[in-house]
Amino acid sequence: MIDVALQKKVTAIFLNSCFFAPMLLMTLAITIAPVVSAQSACDVPASNSWLVDERTNEHTVENFWNGGGNDGIVLPITSDFSMDLSINNDSAKAISMILTTGKSYTFCFTYIGDSESPPSNGAKADVYLMTEGNWDLYQTNYELRYENWLDVIGFLPVEFRDTVTWMPFRDVHSYEKVTEDYFSVSIDSMSSSWLNDGVTKYFLVFDNWDNNRNTDQSASGGDLNIELLVDVENRLVLPKFTAYMLVAILPLSCLIVPVIINSKYKSYGLEENNTENKEIIPILEQLN
């Protein structure tokens, strides 16, 4: 009887763990993930402790051939840095860099109107994070800015037009009509190709012209100065198998648990009771 009770308890614990394991893993992942706030993210020293030019490059959108290849960058960004930039009216600048896994990057930026050429539309502009291929398409869009972009790609069906126009990284890293803002990004895996010597560059673009996006800020009407702070923190990377566990445990438990319950039900029904309870019925003898 003790063995049967223990077996039932073990079975119950296993079934409950199958249901609650995904929720526990999700809670653990959220709890141990680093939390980045605006105050802590922008707490970067004004003076850099390393030579930023060795791992970053500055590009202008007017120079179409500036930005191809690797431009000498081979090492990723691993430390905090700050930078001051300026962009003219109806123009854009970009900072290219290599982002690596195991790090969380927080970009804090502020637009300030230039005193010598103040913006007539206010110190507002756009910021985009994009990959190198999208930067090339972004430059093409700038070259054709005086033409109707839809007329240029009008021969393509609507569902294929995204293949010939630029897109922000992961389709979400676009920050438009802002004076100051911040955002964070982490790279899950490193990608490479033979065109860029085995590394992928990312371009942080400061946009001060009216690009082809309907939601962007038009040109400010003057020059803008930019204060850029980049905070780099170590990021706890969970093993890849945890994602498979989170996705697979619940569906598998819905399949396995009924099978286990059914097998246990049948096994209990097939158990033989070897203990024979013999009752002795007293015989009452009639006394003559």
Lowest mean pLDDT among 55-59, 143-147, 173-177: 143-147
Q: Residue 55: enclosing H or E segment and its boundaries?
A: none
Global confidence as pTM: 0.70
Cα dist from 19 to 10, 211, 242, 253, whole Å: 15, 50, 16, 7
Residue 39 pLDDT: 46
Calculate mean pLDDT across residues 42-58.
89
Residue 113 pLDDT: 96
- pLDDT grade, residue 35 (50/70/90)? very low
Which tens digit of pLDDT belongs to each residue from 234-275? 987 666 767 777 777 767 767 777 777 777 666 665 555 555
Calculate mean pLDDT across residues 210-228.
95
Give the CA count within 13 Å in the CB-facing half-sphere of 268: 10
Contact call for residues 229 and 84 (beta carbons, < 8 A): no
Say how far apart CA 20 and CA 22 lie, in whole Å: 6
Which tens digit of pLDDT belongs to each residue from 73-129? 889 999 999 999 999 999 999 999 999 988 999 999 999 999 999 999 999 999 999
- The closest of 46, 43, 68, 45 to 57, measured between CA atoms, is 68
Q: Which residues contact 97 (CB under 8 A, 6 or more apart)?
A: 55, 56, 57, 73, 76, 77, 201, 202, 204
Look at residue 176 and tell me whether its pLDDT is greater than 70: yes
Cα dist from 231 to 41, 59, 86, 198, 235, whole Å: 6, 21, 21, 25, 12
Lowest mean pLDDT among 38-52, 152-166, 187-201: 187-201
Say how far apart CA 70 and CA 123 lie, in whole Å: 32
Residue 14 pLDDT: 67
Which tens digit of pLDDT belongs to each residue from 179-211? 999 999 999 876 555 455 557 899 999 999 999
Look at residue 139 and tell me whether its pLDDT is greater than 70: yes
- pLDDT grade, residue 158 (50/70/90)? low
What sign results for the dihedral spanned by CA atoms 217, 223, 227, 232?
A: positive
Which tens digit of pLDDT belongs to each residue from 10-34? 766 766 666 566 666 656 655 555 4
